[in-house]
Structure 1
Amino acid sequence: MKEVVAKKYVKALIASLNSDEFDRVESALVTLASAFKIEKLKVILDSPDIDGAKKANFVYSLLDNGSDKIRSFISLLGDNKRLALIPEISKEFSYQKSIRDNAFTGLISGSFELNQNQQAQLEEKFSSKFGSKIDFEKIKNDYNGIKIELDDLGVEVSFSIDRLKAQMSEYILKAI
């Protein structure tokens, strides 16, 4: 439900922006969304003793250099008691900006390290496959293989060494 409401706010926000303001608005929304990880902020925003305008001013004060459009947008959210939607709005705005710029960020995870050349080759191959600019972030974890995720494009590619071993064993046993 939150995502649906956030999409409507993002659509209206995007309609009011020109191309120069996109990066500044995205930066402001990302900053505000990261502030929502602090539990005390959630308590303040959930407090019935503080009115929406004061909450909106407080949220706006978290930005170093916000524009008038950001101030108006935050005030609108405060008036409609929707300040808690800022993390979802930030996520949706970033997604819409990715679509607009045709540039997406993916995730490469696995139990081994990729060097810069290998990562650049993967980015180049995926970029040509999808006709978009693809950048990958690397995360080292316990997955025995490699997993590539492009959530915004709905793509997940994985190669598991454990699965390969199991399939090879199954094939050998069937051949015997």
Structure 2
Amino acid sequence: MRHRLSAATLAVTAAVTAVTFVTAARAQKGPQMSRSPLGEAIRAAMIASPGLLSGFRDTPRAPTAPYADDIARDLALLDRLAPRLFDPDRPGLGPAGAPTRIALFSRADCAPCAAARAELAALAARMGFRAALFDMGRDAGLARDLGLDTAPSYVLPDKLLRGAMPAIVLERYLRD
């Protein structure tokens, strides 16, 4: 592959050099052609050496998942902290004895947090689950471990949601 890349690079470099001279000569002699000199030179080089790019065309591309490691790390963290986050004995919202499916991190004197708590309380009562409540001041270490720096923030067993979320969005996440 390295040899092909060098040949392709040399061909393109030669084409660019040729085009530079052709362009300078044509600029002095009259009207330009409809196809650019660079395009024409590259076309001529490809026709003369059709195998130059065969290695590129036939090489399968590996699938990429640029955030796979981050996702795996976040899921492992959530799994490790789940007993604290979804503790059924923790103060929360929703029917007593229902499974805890979400944790709400909020701050005192935070209007969006109060609205989030009210919406989550109504949603928990309607859907029959518990929401564990955390204060980002008292539970600062846990919030920091989770990377939560925005109030309110929500934690589900498989995701972190930063910032206020409308009830309809939370309902969708809780149903999936």
Identify, as 1 or 2, the structure richer in helix: 1
TM-score, normalised to structure 2, is 0.24
> Could you say which structure has the larger radius of gyration?
2
